[in-house]
Amino acid sequence: VYKRQVERFVFVSTDKAVRPANVMGASKRLSEMLVQGQNGCGLSDTKFMIVRFGNVVGSVGSVVPLFKEQIQKGGPVTVTHPDVTRFFMTIPEACQLILQAGAMGNGGEIFILDMGTPIKIIDMARDLIRLSGFEPDVDIKIEYVGLRPGEKLYEELITEGENIVPTRHEKIMVLKGIECDLQLLNGKIDELAQLAQEQVGNRIKAKLKEIVPEYKAAG
């Protein structure tokens, strides 16, 4: 980034970075901290900012293509838990959020799209079954397979204590930026990188917990 004199850097994060319950979420939160910490260090004129996404409908790994594939095979459609909910956004909304963040950001902010009310995954599964011309639990069975380790019933986009600042875009919220804080992070990230080289899982989780105190490791 510095070498190429990039003017603006937008890091794509996830709602799993909020009170993370697994390594993926904790590593994303750590990445947010690292990106935010680049601002105000005097290392370059690059403006670093973050966008925090929920689920993008139709993207790789989205539940919708999985459900469609299961329906085409005659079922069952697998849902982790009857009460699990998720935020969803479309691919155009995701692209617009990245572009708007790049245009509006002054450095250090976390941009979030107002994604409305979270959707129950079981309702989405039933709707897709009906839209495919079948009756849920009659033509196509639904099976509950249980939450995976580190998986939450619901995701959040904002951690308590994060300061929300309005933007000129009515659908976009922004969390206030932080100043340079690289010295502390860099030492710990070096230690984390060494543990990753050694592939010591429990020590990696312990180091992530040290850096990201809100990380609640499963198991």
pLDDT digits (tens, 9 = 90+) for 60-79: 667 888 999 999 999 999 99
Report the distance separating Cα 194 and Cα 200, nearest Å. 10
Helices (H), the chain: 23-37, 63-72, 91-104, 121-131, 182-198, 201-211
Q: Which of 20-24, 33-37, 168-172, 179-183 has the highest mean pLDDT?
A: 20-24
C-alpha closest to that of 189 among 14, 44, 26, 21: 26
* Contact predicate 158/29, CB 8 Å: no
Catalytic residue chosen out of the listed positions 16, 47, 205, 207 = 16
pTM tops 0.95, yes or no: no
Four-residue CA torsion sign, 160, 117, 56, 46: negative
The predicted model gives 13-34 an average pLDDT of 90
Residue 16 is a catalytic residue: yes
Would you place residue 219 in the very low, low, confident or very high pLDDT band (cuts 50, 70, 90)? very low
Comparing 148 with 73, the larger pLDDT belongs to 73
Q: Are strands 172-175 and 164-166 parallel, antiparallel or unpaired?
A: antiparallel
C-alpha closest to that of 32 among 197, 213, 177, 173: 177
Encoded tokens for 42: 């005097």
CB burial of residue 5 (10 Å; 0-12, 13-18, 19+):
exposed
Percent of the chain with pLDDT over 70: 88
Percent of the chain with pLDDT over 90: 33
